Amino acid sequence: MAKTWCQRVLLALAVFTTLAAAQAGNSTNSNTNSTGNGSPSSSSLLSHGALFYTPSRNLAFALSVPQDKSTQDIYFTMIMAINTMWGAVGLGSDSMAGSLMLVVHGSGSGANVTLSPRIAGAGHSEPWYNPDIRVEALPGTTRIDGTAWVYYGVCRNCRTWTTPQGDRRGIDVVSTKQDMIYATGEVGDIWSDDLNYPLRVHKSFGSFTMDMTVASSGGGGAASAALSASPPRVDLDSTAPQLVGTAQGATAVQAYRDWKGLVHAVIMVLVFVGAFPFGAFILRLGGWVRAHAVLQGLAGILFIVGASLGMSISGMYNRTRKFNSAHQVVGLIIFIFVFGQFTLGVLHHRNFKKTQQKTKLAPIHVWLGRLILVLGVINGFLGFTLSQAVFYNYILLGLVLAIFPLFGVILAIRKCLSKKFDKENKIVSETGDYSAGQTGYNLEPWQVPPHLQQQQQHQQQPGAPYPGYSASAGFAPPPAYQGPQQNTREYV
């Protein structure tokens, strides 16, 4: 057993050394990678055809074009690292638009491979599944445990195709530099038989050229023609781990980050778990109306920016392109409610300044704000689920369970303290002892009832005449101090 493994390791190292030497002789740049063109490395890996593998060695693609000129079929082999969420190769162009994309990921059982033929639309967006393109899995398609997904297939009538815009695209089987692209997803798993399974945006991508004359060449004769009409066979026993798992030298990989989606998520969480709740909190805590208005206004601006980013990325994905997902529908409702809430707040404040009385709009403003907060948090969970980032739901849940109860506890403590102070003031009012307290100092003299102010003055000035005494009929005591006017609360 040990001897067999030693032989495999030595053979693998020999193959990798040959690949590295062949690569060093080829000219590459940071965004492209050329396939083997009959070099020893290609022949050592393949039975026939042309080969491409990504710089990070997590995806390989081999192509064979039948010598029979009456057919439009192409045979191919795709090998993807087991820990890569999905991988794709696009035929016919050095950009996504109009390319025929062959997308692979794990099957629903996890024991086989699903391949979805898709056509990329205009711009940088998720390609559509095209049921008119027929791809058949051939014997040998399987999952190699702990190593790779392997797909041997034939694509029927795939040398030309029609784009969603109605244009005709295709591959040139006699070109020595046929443009193609590749993309790989993040680290993770997709186990599904759904050919239209929604994909997350790719983590890395790039373009390459393939020598189609190598893909369609042969030694002539019936045996060579039969061999060309089959998928290229890779020696998986000796090369698969190196082919899909070893770094490929200094060639760079183009990385992509969905920054719009990231910023959209951060802003919306900040608005609905931070800014909006805190704005309501400070109004309840201290009655700071101006601070409440300023903070909610800034949060509203952030909300508009976040919503705009969300709308702008909707066209990138098939699941959001029609704007009919639960996250988008609820988001649109919240968008309308937020503008209505700001309108109610402004009208209520203007009317209050005129009348100094609580308006009928106040309870509507309060309860609509509470509804917006609830819908915003729910929509956050819907959004992370829609974007296939379910892990962030736990982070959002943790923030909600930490922040909202904290605000509630603080307000409950304030309410208890307010009741205690109100009770003490009521006791003092009933006994009439407004002269001093335990400290001998009255903090709020203007709250003393008028009928007791003269008594208080008499008690504080020994020797003074009784409050009802008048030195003469023409002189009367000054009116009691009433204190400043106490305004009605502006909020509910």
Q: Report CA-CA distances (Å) from 55 to 100, 254, 306, 389.
A: 21, 10, 36, 27
What residues in the chain have per-residue pLDDT under 50? 1-44, 219-223, 238-253, 434-444, 486
What pLDDT score was predicted for residue 240? 44
Q: Rounded to the nearest 5 degrees, what angle is found at the Cα of 100, between the Cα atoms of 95 and 105?
A: 100
User: d(Cα 198, Cα 178) in Å, to the nearest integer?
Assistant: 29
pLDDT 10s digits, 361-371? 888 999 999 99
CATH of domain 50-253: 2.60.40.1210
User: Residue 156 in 3-state DSSP?
Assistant: strand
CB count in 10 Å sphere of residue 255 = 10
Compute and round to an integer the Cα radius of gyration of the chain.
38
| Upper half-sphere CA count for residue 70 (Cβ side, 13 Å) | 1
What pLDDT score was predicted for residue 307? 96
Answer for the pair 334, 376: CB distance below 8 angstroms, yes or no. Answer: yes
Answer for the pair 89, 61: CB distance below 8 angstroms, yes or no. Answer: yes
User: d(Cα 381, Cα 138) in Å, to the nearest integer?
Assistant: 41
**What DSSP string describes 77-117?**
EEEEETTBS-EEEEES-SSSTT-EEEEEEE-TTSSSEEEEE
What pLDDT score was predicted for residue 121? 82
Burial grade of 441 (CB within 10 A; 0-12, 13-18, 19 or more): exposed
Q: Rounded to the nearest 5 degrees, what angle is found at the Cα of 436, between the Cα atoms of 433 and 440?
A: 155
Burial grade of 438 (CB within 10 A; 0-12, 13-18, 19 or more): exposed
Answer for the pair 90, 120: CB distance below 8 angstroms, yes or no. Answer: yes
What pLDDT score was predicted for residue 70? 79
349 φψ region: left (φ > 0), alpha (ψ -120 to 50), beta (else): alpha
What pLDDT score was predicted for residue 419? 77
Residue 476 backbone phi and psi in degrees, to 5: -130, 155
- Per-domain boundaries in the chain: 50-253, 259-417
Cα 205 from chain centroid (whole Å) = 20
Answer for the pair 301, 367: CB distance below 8 angstroms, yes or no. Answer: no
**pTM of this prediction?**
0.70
User: d(Cα 221, Cα 219) in Å, to the nearest integer?
Assistant: 7
Distant-in-sequence, close-in-space partners of 222: CB < 8 Å, separation ≥ 6? none
User: d(Cα 108, Cα 87) in Å, to the nearest integer?
Assistant: 16
Residue 451 backbone phi and psi in degrees, to 5: -70, -10
